Amino acid sequence: MVQYYDVALAAAEGYFASRFREYCGQFNLPFFLVEPIWVSEFLRRIEEGEVGVKVLVDMASDAGEDGNPYFALAKAVKAAGGYVINDPDLGALAAHKGRFHPVLEQNGVPVPRSIIVPRDGLASFRVTNELKATLGVPFVVKPGWGGGAVGVNINSRSEQDLLQCAELAPNSDSFLVQERIQPRDLEGHRAWFRVFHILGEAIPCWWEPPANQYQLVTPLQQKVYRLGRLKKIVKDIARVSGVEFFTTEICYTTDRRFLAVDYLNTDCDMHPKSFFPTGVPDEVVRHISLLLTHRALAVCKRGHGYFDEELEEKDLDWGQRRQLGMLVPGE
């Protein structure tokens, strides 16, 4: 007899996992947290048909790591007919910056001026006068495949900087050489943002390097500073990629361009601000947990009208809906 879980969450921060588990419990959705100690056994049982998962929220996959058990779990749940957030095939493709960059350009998503260098072209790459005129100096080099800022150099000036990037990211098959951009100053705020995309909704936050401290962008700030492009860009990235839950870094530059800098990050930070100085605002963590619960209810065909009514308003700014009292109590 197969044991079914309506919802499984693949390893996530404790506060987020607790809120998500709480919401699932309120709506009687059987829930399992796939922690590292359980993942291999849980995967085995999925593959052997002993356990079934209707909805898997994957916060732990690394498609670039050979034999990553969480990526294998996501593939196994999808193969068994389960619904996976994010689809492991779509997420792995869009996370490759070297391949996704030209796709974004072709679809009108604004990105920094860049040159993509394949690994087999490293030896012949030269910092020419034409390149300097196009990208400026210093410029940025980063791996086309990889994360955690490994290999990224924002003060590059020579071919040697690119070669060093390649040494630090041996699994990347391509590299980006990009213009270095500067954010505008908006009355004390550096105009650098991290925008969450969750199931069709965009939640913009101030996220100012190097402090990397989150703060929600308020509806008034969106209007005063004319920041509507933030939501347009992240929704366009979602449309092009098909990925449902991710973050994007966007810079509003000194020459008044909105540019997607880190295109699509599926390893979303869910550490809460109440526990971590650089954490995500707690209300964002709770809201994302709630939307994921709604999707699980819909997939399991146990939809709840109150949620349906709320999500019909998702194109209205989240901050405005909070002010109008349109969100579920406790958000």
Give the range among 46-50, 139-143, 186-190 with minimum mean pLDDT: 186-190
CATH class given for the domain over 113-179: alpha beta
Tell me: pLDDT of 256 over 70: yes
pLDDT score of 211: 77
At residue 322, φ and ψ (nearest 5 deg) are -65, -45
CATH 3.40.50: does it fit domain 185-323? no
8: exposed, middle or buried (C-beta count within 10 Å: 0-12, 13-18, 19+)?
A: buried
Asked if 331 contacts 283 with a C-beta cutoff of 8 angstroms, the reply is yes
Tell me, what's the pLDDT at 34?
94
- Give the pLDDT score at 307: 47
Class in CATH terms, 3-86: alpha beta
DSSP assignments along 299-311, one per residue: HTT---HHHHHHH
The predicted-structure confidence for 5-40, as pLDDT tens digits, reads as follows 999 999 877 899 999 999 999 999 999 999 999 999
Q: Domain map of the chain by residue range?
A: 3-86, 113-179, 185-323
Of 31, 125, 95, the residue nearest 241 (C-alpha):
95
Pair 110, 233: CB distance under 8 Å: yes
Q: How does pLDDT run across 45-94, given as a tens digit for each residue?
A: 999 999 999 999 999 887 767 788 999 999 999 999 999 999 998 877 78
